[in-house]
Amino acid sequence: MSSKRILMGNEAIAFGAMKAGVQIASGYPGTPSSEVMETIASHAKEYGIYAEWATNEKVALETAVGAAYSGANAIVTMKQVGLNVASDPLMSLSYIGVKGSLVILVSDDPGPHSSQTEQDTRAFGHFANIPVLDPSTPQEAYNMTLLAFRLSHEMETPVILRTTTRVSHGCADVVIGDIAPIPRDIEGFVKDTRWTIFPKLTAQRHPLLEDLQLRLSDCFSEYFEDNSFNSLSKGSSRIGIAASGVSYLYAMEAVRKLPGVFSVFKTATVYPFPEKAALDFLKGITDLIVVEELDPYMEEQFLQLAGKHHLNVNIYGKKNGCFPVSGEYDVDVVIDGINSSLERGNTDVPGLSHSPPAINLKEVPSLLIRAPTLCAGCMHRTVFYAFKKAAGKLRSQKGIDSVFSGDIGCYTLGNARPLNMVDTCLCMGAGISIAAGLSHTQEYSNNGKAKQIAFIGDSTFFHSGIAAVVSAVYNSADITIAVLDNRTTAMTGHQPHPGIGITAVGSPAKIIDIAEVLKSCGVGLVRTIEADGLDGCIDAATEAMQFEGPSAVVFRGKCVAISKGEGQYIVDEDKCTGCKLCISQLGCPAIFSISSGLPVIQDTCSGCGLCAQTCPSEAIVLKEVL
Amino acid sequence: MAPRLLATAAMDAGFHVATAETIGMAQREGSVTSHVRIGDDVYGSLIPQGTADLIIGLEPAEAARNLRYLRKGGSVVVNGHAIMPSTQGKGSEEYDPDRLIGFLNDNCPDIISADFTRLAKDAGTYKAANVAMIAAAAGAGLLPFSQEYLWDVLEKMIPEKYRDVNRRVFDRAIESVSDTKGKGMESRAFNDGRVR
């Protein structure tokens, strides 16, 4: 039986995995991938699946690999940046292969909407010699998840299921099959030399790995015959369009007013590239327009193919400037790209037109910039402000400047004005290591005149912070670590982590205490303090910054997005002097100023009280008090 | 929640749907746009410029920011309740919501502008302003399915303890547009959007 449901692409993938009989699931949250594991975890008990959030993507992949070595059907989930963390096991894994099945779900983020990079996982698959499937809709994501498990099992290779934001986070009506309870009859690990990678094994396996790429390329070419995931259509002109993923839909919508004019090559099996089918397609075409977000991956495949076979075909894409080389695509971007290609191609196909908006956009008044910022009542604001104050004291009393190294999470938003408390941000865990690196340079170049402070979140601490702490302590880095412990993985949707005491499926778990970890790593001064009192936070920050050698403060608070606010504050207009410190210093989105010059606190106030603690006139009071 | 509510109701009413939402970093008080496509002719989830039938602007500046999507003859439902930025970003304009609402009323022929946050707050919770706006769109006949489909979905989505207050918001919003139902709807006067 099958049924139709509204599903987000990520949910469709989770249902596909469960339909395919996934037994073990591991992942680390990261937008736009997180809902895959969340959905599996929420059904885990019902279907008998083991599901977990791992501490990072490398650990998640290795856990899934262990399960697959035992013959299990396994999935691991992450975002594109997470694949970098997992790349160490991934590159070796492709040589070894798997038993059972292993699907690696990686979500790319063109734009990007919430990522540090716009990297393209299709290229990573190519680099690692691992097949990549690239669905264009939630329905296709569901269907291709089934295919990914099947391919992985048949070919004994991990398979990357790659999505982009608009597939991961798009909802659609999706037809899915019923899921039966999933059997746990896993064969078990069988000892064999094939599981231990050594240079000799690598040398033996590499030719087989290369051969697999050729076999898969042929296999993917055959998929065009039944139009299941790949399709070829012949148009009336000698102009072709090649596309994959969500770009295929943009291209089809862009040319819908010229039905049947273009020949279309659509592939959802992007790596290994289906060369035979692509070659068939290129014959009879004089001009090829390649529509793809992120890297010019397919464009390069077609260019190589045309060169290899001496085909006289013009290829338009990113490399000759017809399409943007970065940023997210949509129908309008693709219309411009196709038009630019058509102009250069000197063809008689007319250009495509945009739909004019109802309103002359030049007449729209210029608009405010509304950048993301820390939530009203967020504990991070108190901690950042406390460090700002403590650093100010250090500067005025001892002439020592402070550098604040940030990290990946909600608290990256501490870079926003007026806090300006993120001087560096590179990747997960890097706040601590970069602060350590900076501390070793100042010893020689700056004569100890700068203090290094690293901010890190609780989930990130477990992800890649601990190794950085160990290295910093062992190498005597003079840094202060501020752990912003809001008791959740807030940025990606509040997944639990080892500091919480609850697993992905809601079972109780042993809590790993961050302060105890810091102590056992040898950090000289470790304090734990509640983040709701500004003065206490300033004192703790000051003490830690004045400590010589590695020091740390764990600031414990709660995430306002999942905890109920306690009361609301209001401005007592009789006492308010209009100094606007509450606005100019804190950047709380619940406070704004009106034309009279007085601040107003909006309903979104969650009662953290930071503004009241900051106000020199005691003019900010709890609503009930006034 | 709003896009999923619209999409589920549309699917229940027999349409194909596709939505695009923005989740993650962009949600943290930032400017966020969701797309909902309903019908048999659905391609990708992103709406091309100049083709949207309806813009539901949960905030005046965000409605204006997305006007490029509105098709000729399309409708706008806008919440007059402005969300003021706490700090002016670099190069940002001073925010004058009254002027902006005036512009929207003058330039969008089919517009419903009202303080839906106040409507929701009066009915029990300001947080249900989005429910109020979608109900208003349904009540004004701007959606291709009836309001019953919406409520059926809401009833399933909303935890029981919040159901009554949402029902009140829903009904009041529909009532508030009952005089505008059908074609030739009149611009509604903007009342001071800021709730003190």
Enter the tokens of residue A245.
């993923």
> 3-class secondary structure for chain B?
CHHHHHHHHHHHCCCCEEEECCCCHHHCCCCCCCEEEECCCCCCCCCCCCCEEEEEECCHHHHHHCHHHEEEEEEEEEECCCCCCCCCCCCCCCCCHHHHHHHHHHHCCEEEEECHHHHHHHHCCHHHHHHHHHHHHHHCCCCCCCHHHHHHHHHHHCCHHHHHHHHHHHHHHHHHCHHHCCCCCCCCCCCCCCCC
A residues 321..380 contacting B (CB < 8 A): 330-332, 335, 354-359, 361, 363-375
Instruction: Quote the pLDDT of residue A185.
Output: 86
Predicted local confidence at residue A183, as pLDDT:
85
The answer to whether B31 touches B83, Cβ cutoff 8 Å, is no
User: What separation in angstroms does the CA of A28 have from each of A16, A80, A502, B171?
Assistant: 19, 11, 15, 42
Tokens of A42: 């929420």
Nearest to B26 among A173, A372, A589 (CB): A372
What is the average pLDDT value for chain A, to the nearest integer? 95
- For A152-156, A249-253, A584-588, B90-94, which range has the lowest pLDDT when averaged over its residues? B90-94
> How confident is the model over A51-70, as pLDDT tens digits?
999 999 999 999 999 999 99
CB A123 within 8 A of CB A158: no
Residue B178 identity (one-letter amino acid) = S
For the entire predicted model, the pTM comes to 0.95
A553–B contact, CB cutoff 8 A? no
* CA angle, B29 then B33 then B38, to 5°: 145
Q: Which of A532, A535, A603 is nearest to A570 (CA)?
A: A603
Q: What is the pLDDT of residue B182?
A: 44
pLDDT value of position A368: 85
Q: Which of residues 434-493 of A touch B (CB under 8 A)?
A: 491-493
The yes-or-no verdict on residue B103 having pLDDT over 60 is: yes
- Least confident residue range of A106-115, A587-596, B52-61, B73-82: A587-596
What is the predicted pLDDT for the residue at A566?
80
Q: What percent of chain A has pLDDT over 70?
A: 98
pLDDT score at B130 = 94
Give the residue among A545, A555, A538 at the shortest CA–CA distance from A456: A555
Nearest-by-CA chain B residue for A412: B25
Measure the CA–CA gap between A465 and A450, rounded to whole angstroms.
22
- Name which of B188, B61, B94, B35 is nearest A364 in CA terms: B61
Q: Does residue B128 register a pLDDT over 50? A: yes
Average pLDDT taken over every residue of chain B: 87
Average pLDDT over residues A190-215: 96
Whole-angstrom CA distances from A616 to A577, A578, A588, A591, A620 are 9, 11, 17, 16, 9
For residue A358, pLDDT beyond 90: yes
- pLDDT score, position A594: 72
| Strand residue runs (E) in A29-178 | 50-53, 73-79, 101-108, 132-133, 159-164, 170-177
Tell me which of B17, B46, B51, B192 to substitute to probe the interface with A (most A C-beta atoms closer than 10 Å). B46
CB contact under 8 A, B90 and A417: yes
Q: What mean pLDDT is predicted for residues A22-48?
A: 97
- Inter-chain CB proximity B24 and A31 less than 8 Å: yes
Interchain pair A359, B51: CB under 8 A: no
Measured between CA atoms, the residue of chain A closest to residue B84 is A592
The residues with which A110 forms a beta bridge, in sequence order, are none
Which residues of chain B make contact with A357, given a CB cutoff of 8 A?
49-50, 67-71
| Alpha-carbon distances of A158 from A171, A575, A594, B54, rounded to whole Å | 27, 66, 58, 44
- Give the whole-angstrom CA distance, residue A264 versus residue A152: 28
Q: Hey, is the C-beta of A99 within 8 angstroms of any chain B C-beta?
A: no
Q: What percent of chain A has pLDDT over 90?
A: 90
Q: Is the CB of residue A625 less than 8 Å away from at least one CB of chain B?
A: no
ipTM of the complex: 0.92
- What per-residue confidence (pLDDT) applies to B88? 54
Q: How many CB pairs (< 8 A) connect A and B?
A: 198
pLDDT at B178: 84
Model confidence band, residue B192 (pLDDT cutoffs 50, 70, 90) = very low
* pLDDT for position A262: 97
Q: Is A598 on the interface with B (CB under 8 A)?
A: no
User: What is the predicted pLDDT for the residue at A444?
Assistant: 62
Residues A473-499 pLDDT 10s: 999 999 999 999 999 999 999 999 999
> Following DSSP, what letter does each residue of A316-363 receive, concatenated?
ESTTTTSS-SSS---HHHHHHHHHHHHHHHT-SSPPP-PPPPSS-GGG
